[in-house]
Amino acid sequence: MATIKPFKAIRPVKDKVSLVTSRSYHEYSKRELNAVLEFNPFSFLHIINPGYKYAKNVSGEERFKLVHNRYLEFLEENIFLKDSSDSIYLYQMKKGNRSFRGFFCATSVAEYRNNLIKKHENTIKPREELFASYLDTVKFNAEPVLMTYADDKVIAGILNSVMQEQPEYLFSTRDKIIHRLWKISNKITIQKIQTAFEKIDALYIADGHHRSASSNLLALQAEQKNTSHIGNEPYNFFMSYLIPESEIKIYEFNRMVKDLNGLSKESLLIKLDESFRIQNKGAILYKPTKKHHFSMYLDGEFYSLYLRKKVYEFTDALSHLDTQILYQTILKPILGVNNLRKDKRIHYGYGKHNIIKMKDQIDKGKFAVGFSLVPVEIDEIKAIADAGLVMPPKSTYIEPKLRSGLAIYEL
């Protein structure tokens, strides 16, 4: 059973929505960020970069308080409006033939704790605490947790019906994506969606593990402070974007390592031969084609690595994951990369053309060897989450990447 809740969103006014919404702060180069802050006074980036107004770098609690102040200014200047009725917000992103369709709603912290909202990544406690403190000060949530659910004909039918209506927003962004948003405020329609989700066994976090963990921590802290706690306060929920699992797109992260851990090229190949069938593919770009098949770039040549399944033990859902296989058979025992999160010898890359970038970086001598994998599948993510296991870091790069400031949930 999955509980979803409508909420009164804070949203940009129609004539400024394309100017207000932004990509995630971390996706901007310093030069691009400064240009937006200089020439677009309506950008949501002004809220999360409040020190720009005073030409000062701010951090910690001082920054959190200024973020809250900039947010209030956007409300006072009528750049943002607050909806008068609880709603669910259907949001579509479309580029060419590719479309993502899901909706903003509030999801339950209690269900996160009870593992009805399922996780596949570990979180770092200091980051949880920092973001919980941020939320407690700024009093809003502007970046939803991306979650997926099993495709459902009833839910799809309702959303198809809503999309026949005129959208609340229709705008394009510089990355050639067309954005549409519909406000669903009809109580009967909302009830139909909620009833359909009551039959959904679980929601799966695709992106936003730290955001959901921080919301949980904030709720625990708020509950302790509130002597009149009854369970329906805003802090008992957090904003999510729910999308059917057939519509998310999962990309792989490649791995590059700075050195061969003291081995020669020949010694490395001999060690790899213990666990893989190796074929030299020459200098032509070569990508893996199926599970348990890897591409390696070393000393100007690509190699095909097929796992010798008779020498590798499959024990659980995690052991079947290619990123885990690569770690257990090559990165840890041969190249000496024990900590995938902290070891500075390893670097990760993603993207459609990343194998070309990987080759270029290795040819320039910045790295010694690189490995390419096929993308993780949604069923693998679900199997690992269902088993309570954790995927290695940088196992997935998942789209859609949602814009900030499109819908805001007040705490």
CA distance readout (Å), 188 to 101, 160, 185, 195: 21, 16, 9, 10
- According to DSSP H, which parts of 125-276 are helical? 125-138, 153-162, 187-197, 209-225, 265-272
pTM: 0.93
Share the mean pLDDT of the chain: 94
Q: Is the separation of the CB atoms in 89 and 9 below 8 Å? A: yes
pLDDT in tens, 146-192: 999 999 999 999 999 999 999 999 999 999 999 999 999 999 999 99
* Six token digits for residue 114: 């009870």
- Binned at pLDDT 50, 70 and 90, residue 52 comes out as confident
**What is the C-alpha separation between 194 and 204, in angstroms, rounded?**
17
pLDDT of residue 136: 95
DSSP string for residues in 192-227: HHHHHHTT---EEEEE-HHHHHHHHHHHHHHHHH-T
Q: Where are the alpha helices (DSSP H) in 198-305?
A: 209-225, 265-272
Total residues found in the chain within this entry: 411
Tens-digit pLDDT profile for residues 204-231: 999 999 999 999 999 999 999 999 999 8
Q: How far apart are CA 44 and CA 52, in angstroms?
A: 12
Contact (CB, 8 A) for 409 and 264:
no
Residue 152 CB burial class (10 angstroms; 0-12, 13-18, ≥19): middle
For the segment 369-388, the average pLDDT, to the nearest whole number, is 96
Q: Taking CA 89 as the corner, what is the angle to CA 181 and CA 63, rounded to the nearest 5 degrees?
A: 95
Give pLDDT, residue 55.
83
- Is the pLDDT at 351 greater than 90, yes or no? no
Note whether 10 and 81 are within 8 A (CB): yes
Structure token pair of residue 37: 């802050």
Residue 297: partners with Cβ closer than 8 Å, 6 or more residues away: 303, 355, 358, 359, 362, 369, 370, 371, 372
Amino acid 54: pLDDT: 83
Q: Between helices 125-138 and 209-225, what is the axis angle to 10°?
A: 60
pLDDT tens sequence across 113-138: 999 999 999 898 999 999 999 999 99
